[in-house]
C-alpha cells in the first residue's frame, strides 16, 4: 500500500506519484504550483472541476483537466479534496466507491473534521486534513496538517515531501488546525489591513498613494523575511529598531495606546472560535 516514502528518500519517489485535485480554486492552484516546483511532473497531475472557468491556468502548467471527479481518483495515489466545505459530503459520496487502501485523501476544506471525513469514506481510508493559506500561491505558505486514524507516519512524511516547496509545512494535532486558521489563514488578511494602514499613514503625511503602497508591501515582506531568517524573537528585533528617544519608540507608543496588541490577539481568538463553530456545523450537517 503506501510504500512510496518507506525508502527514506520520499522526494525521490515523488516523481512517480500520481497526484489529483478535486476543485480548481486558489488553494488547489497554489498547492499544485508548489508540488510542480518539487519533483512531481505535470504529466502525473490531474484536476477536476464542474466548470472550465478555473481550469485554464492548470492547463498552462501542463496539467490534465477533466470534469470527472471519479477519473481523478481512479488515476491518482494522492487526492487533494479542495472544494468548499459544504461540497465535501456530496463529493466524497460520489468518489467513495473508487477510494482504495492505496489512496491518500488530503482534505483542504476548512472546518471539516477528520472524523467527518472518515465517516464519509470507506473503512480504513487514509485521510489527512491540511490547512494551507493564500501565500501558497507564491510558495510562501504556512501549512499545518493532521493525520487521521489510519494515516501512518510515512504518509505524513510523504505529504511533507510533496508540499515542502509550498512554504512552511508542519504537522500537529487536529485541535491546532482551527488555531492555525485564525493565526495564518485569517492572519494574512490582518497583515494586509496593517499594510494598508501603514500606507494610509504615509499618504496622510504627503506621500503619493502608489509609492506608499509599494513601500508598505516591501516593508511587510522584508520584516517577515528578517524575522524568519534571523530566528530571533520578534521582541528582540523590535528592540533593535528602537533607538532611545527616536522615531520608532514614539510610533510604538501610539500603537500601544491604540491597543493594537490586544486587538490582534482578540482577532486571532475570534477567527479561531469561528473556525470551531463552522467545524461543528459541518459535522452536524454531514450526520443528517
Express each pLDDT in 194-243 by its tens digit.
999 999 999 999 999 999 999 999 999 999 999 999 999 999 999 999 99
> pTM for this structure?
0.89
Annotated binding-site residue numbers:
22-27, 69, 82-85
| 215 in any annotated domain | yes
Residues 6+ apart with CB under 8 A from 237: 226, 227, 230
Task: Say whether both 123 and 194 belong to one domain.
Answer: no
* Structural domain ending residue among the three candidates 147, 177, 207: 177
Starting at the edge strand found earlier in the chain, the sheet holding 78-81 runs 64-66, 45-48, 19-22, 78-81, 104-107, 126-131, 141-147, 167-171
Q: What's the domain range around 206?
A: 187-271
- The 10s digit of each residue's pLDDT in 66-107 is 999 999 999 999 999 999 988 999 999 999 999 998 899 999
Task: Say whether both 168 and 209 belong to one domain.
Answer: no
What CATH code is carried by the domain that includes residue 59?
Answer: 3.40.50.720
Annotated binding-site residue numbers for NADP(+):
22-27, 82-85
Annotated binding-site residue numbers for NADPH:
69
Q: How far apart are CA 181 and CA 174, in angstroms?
A: 11
Task: Say whether both 261 and 130 belong to one domain.
Answer: no
Task: Say whether both 123 and 202 belong to one domain.
Answer: no
| 182 in any annotated domain | no
- Decide: residue 42, CB within 10 A, 0-12 exposed, 13-18 middle, 19+ buried: middle
Task: Say whether both 167 and 197 belong to one domain.
Answer: no
- 13 pLDDT band, cuts 50/70/90, is low
Task: Give percent of the chain with pLDDT exceeding 90.
Answer: 85
Q: How far apart are CA 69 and CA 220, in angstroms?
A: 39
| 280 in any annotated domain | no
- The 10s digit of each residue's pLDDT in 253-271 is 999 999 999 999 999 999 9
* Structural domain ending residue among the three candidates 148, 177, 206: 177
Task: Say whether both 242 and 208 belong to one domain.
Answer: yes
Distance set, CA 191 to CA 70, 200, 213, 224, 242 (Å): 39, 14, 13, 11, 21
Task: Say whether both 137 and 213 belong to one domain.
Answer: no
| 208 in any annotated domain | yes
Task: Say whether both 168 and 86 belong to one domain.
Answer: yes
Q: What is the count of structural domains for the chain?
A: 2
**Bridging pattern class, strands 78-81 and 19-22:** parallel
| 286 in any annotated domain | no
Task: Say whether both 44 and 154 belong to one domain.
Answer: yes
What CATH code is carried by the domain that includes residue 261?
Answer: 1.10.3730.10
* Structural domain ending residue among the three candidates 177, 198, 215: 177
Task: Say whether both 25 and 164 belong to one domain.
Answer: yes
Amino acid at each position: 500500500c503506501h510504500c512510496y516514502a518507506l525508502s527514506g528518500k520520499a522526494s525521490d519517489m515523488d516523481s512517480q506519484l500520481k497526484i489529483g485535485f478535486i476543485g480548481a480554486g486558489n488553494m488547489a492552484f497554489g498547492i499544485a504550483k508548489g508540488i510542480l516546483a518539487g519533483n512531481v511532473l505535470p504529466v502525473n497531475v490531474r484536476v477536476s472541476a464542474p466548470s472550465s472557468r478555473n481550469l485554464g491556468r492548470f492547463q498552462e502548467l501542463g496539467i490534465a483537466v477533466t470534469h470527472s471527479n471519479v477519473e481523478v481518483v481512479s488515476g491518482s495515489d494522492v487526492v487533494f479534496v479542495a472544494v468548499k466545505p459544504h461540497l465535501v459530503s456530496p463529493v466524497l459520496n460520489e468518489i467513495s466507491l473508487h477510494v482504495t487502501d492505496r489512496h491518500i485523501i488530503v482534505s483542504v476544506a476548512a472546518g471539516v473534521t477528520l472524523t467527518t471525513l472518515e465517516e464519509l469514506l470507506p473503512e480504513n481510508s487514509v485521510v489527512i486534513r491540511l490547512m494551507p493559506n493564500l501565500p501558497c500561491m507564491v510558495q510562501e505558505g504556512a501549512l499545518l496538517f493532521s493525520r487521521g486514524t489510519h494515516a501512518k507516519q510515512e504518509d505524513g512524511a510523504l505529504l511533507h515531501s510533496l508540499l515542502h516547496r509550498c512554504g512552511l509545512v508542519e504537522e500537529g494535532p487536529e485541535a491546532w488546525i482551527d488555531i492555525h486558521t485564525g493565526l495564518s489563514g485569517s492572519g494574512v488578511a490582518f497583515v494586509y489591513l496593517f499594510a494598508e494602514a501603514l500606507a494610509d499613514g504615509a499618504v496622510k503625511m504627503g506621500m503619493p498613494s502608489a509609492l506608499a503602497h509599494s513601500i508598505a508591501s516591501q516593508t511587510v515582506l522584508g520584516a517577515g523575511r528578517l524575522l524568519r531568517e534571523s530566528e530571533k524573537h520578534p521582541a528582540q528585533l523590535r528592540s533593535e529598531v528602537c533607538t532611545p528617544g527616536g522615531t520608532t519608540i514614539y510610533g510604538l507608543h501610539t500603537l500601544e495606546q491604540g491597543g493594537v496588541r490586544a486587538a490582534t490577539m482578540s482577532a486571532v481568538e475570534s477567527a479561531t472560535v469561528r473556525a470551531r463553530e463552522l467545524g461543528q456545523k459541518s459535522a452536524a450537517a454531514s450526520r443528517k
